[in-house]
């Protein structure tokens, strides 16, 4: 392991690369990364660095977003098989059909979508700013894609708009049940419950806090409580234990995203040596997909 880590550090310096890792990546990937966080935050961070190469350790749409925001940089996704199941539940053709069914309704696309889908959208959002983005639109109806659960969460705060939902979901969050959370609460009655808005409504109903991964970290750091039930992908606990080591975290071992775990240290070494697989997008797709992302940033990232 030490030999591999030294090799990665040397290759990174030689190639003038920056390594970005999502909060759900393997612990050893998070530990070797230059930045750890959510997908959009990492892409914005990358655009601020002097690195010529971005090694994005996450799922496919994240690396695409980094490439859209950083067209002058080489963006590498170390394992092409690390694809987001939710993003795969919608394509540009399906979205076009939905737009025909609701003419004039702007499309709010969760960042968990492909570049082609973003190119057909009006504005993007993250789990952190979805409510704020939807509220910022003057329209009386919107199309929200692709996550039904996040869309239902948004509806709780936006009563003056008709929200047309695409039937997509995150398999990892979908399988987190109210029964599972209450079982942990019974075992740890003092623990506060924090869950991701990609969870099903009945899980959100019993939570003390609903937030994105970055929002969860912020919430936990601000609380005087010492115990927390984590209703999201269980690897977030690795970062939590590093940033708030004085607290206890109870996760669901079944809440694991297999595609987020496909990238290994060996993949990093190979990618740094070969600068492959590289994200290459059609220029027109990049131009069109960049617009909704920039609109989201202008509306307020949070």
Mean pLDDT of the region 165-178: 98
**How confident is the model at residue 196, as a pLDDT?**
98
Residues present in the chain in total: 302
Least trusted range by pLDDT, from 6-10, 35-39, 80-84: 35-39
At the fourth CATH level, which superfamily is domain 87-169+284-299?
A: NadA-like (3.40.50.10800)
Buried b (16+ CB within 10 A) or exposed e, 223-256: beeeebbbbbbbbbbbbbeeebeebbbbbbeebe
- Four-way CATH pick for 2-84+260-280: 3.40.640.10, 3.40.50.620, 3.40.50.10800, 3.40.720.10: 3.40.50.10800
DSSP for 79-111 reads -TT---TTGGG--HHHHHHHHHHSTTPPEEEES
**How confident is the model at residue 52, as a pLDDT?**
94
**How confident is the model at residue 13, as a pLDDT?**
94
pLDDT digits (tens, 9 = 90+) for 32-71: 999 999 877 887 787 788 899 999 999 999 999 999 999 9
Mean pLDDT of the region 97-101: 98
Q: CA-to-CA distance for 189 and 228, rounded, in angstroms?
A: 10
Q: CA-to-CA distance for 294 and 288, rounded, in angstroms?
A: 11
Question: For domain 176-254, is the CATH number 3.40.50.10800?
Answer: yes
**How confident is the model at residue 300, as a pLDDT?**
63
Q: CA-to-CA distance for 238 and 110, rounded, in angstroms?
A: 25
pLDDT digits (tens, 9 = 90+) for 269-296: 999 999 999 999 999 999 999 999 989 8
What lies within 8 Å, CB to CB, of 222 at 6+ separation is none
* Cβ proximity of 19 and 33 under 8 Å: yes
């Amino acid at each position: 392991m030490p030999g591999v880590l030294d090799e990665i550090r040397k290759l990174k310096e030689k190639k003038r690369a920056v390594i970005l890792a999502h909060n759900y990546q393997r612990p050893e990937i998070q530990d070797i990364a230059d930045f750890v966080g959510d997908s959009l935050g990492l892409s914005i961070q990358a655009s601020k660095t002097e690195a010529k190469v971005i090694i994005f350790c996450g799922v496919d749409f994240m690396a695409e977003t980094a490439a859209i925001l950083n067209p002058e940089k080489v963006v590498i996704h170390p394992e092409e098989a690390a694809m987001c199941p939710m993003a795969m539940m919608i394509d540009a053709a399906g979205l076009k059909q939905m737009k025909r069914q609701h003419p004039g309704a702007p499309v709010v696309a969760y960042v968990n979508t492909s570049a082609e889908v973003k190119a057909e959208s009006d504005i993007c959002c993250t789990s952190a700013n979805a409510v704020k983005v939807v509220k910022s639109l003057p329209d009386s109806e919107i199309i929200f894609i692709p996550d039904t659960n996040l869309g239902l969460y948004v509806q709780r705060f936006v009563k003056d708009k008709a929200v047309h939902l695409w039937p997509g979901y995150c398999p990892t969050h979908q399988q987190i049940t109210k029964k599972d959370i209450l079982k942990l609460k019974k075992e740890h009655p003092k623990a506060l419950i924090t869950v991701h808005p990609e969870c099903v409504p009945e899980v959100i109903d019993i939570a003390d806090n609903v937030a994105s991964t970055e929002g969860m970290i912020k919430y936990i750091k601000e609380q005087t409580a010492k115990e927390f039930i984590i209703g999201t992908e269980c690897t977030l606990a690795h970062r939590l234990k590093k940033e708030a080591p004085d607290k206890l975290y109870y996760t669901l071992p079944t809440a694991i995203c297999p595609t987020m775990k496909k990238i290994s240290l060996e993949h990093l070494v190979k990618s740094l040596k070969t600068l492959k697989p590289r994200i290459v997008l059609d220029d027109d797709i990049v131009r069109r997909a960049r617009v909704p992302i920039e609109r989201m940033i202008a509306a307020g990232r949070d």
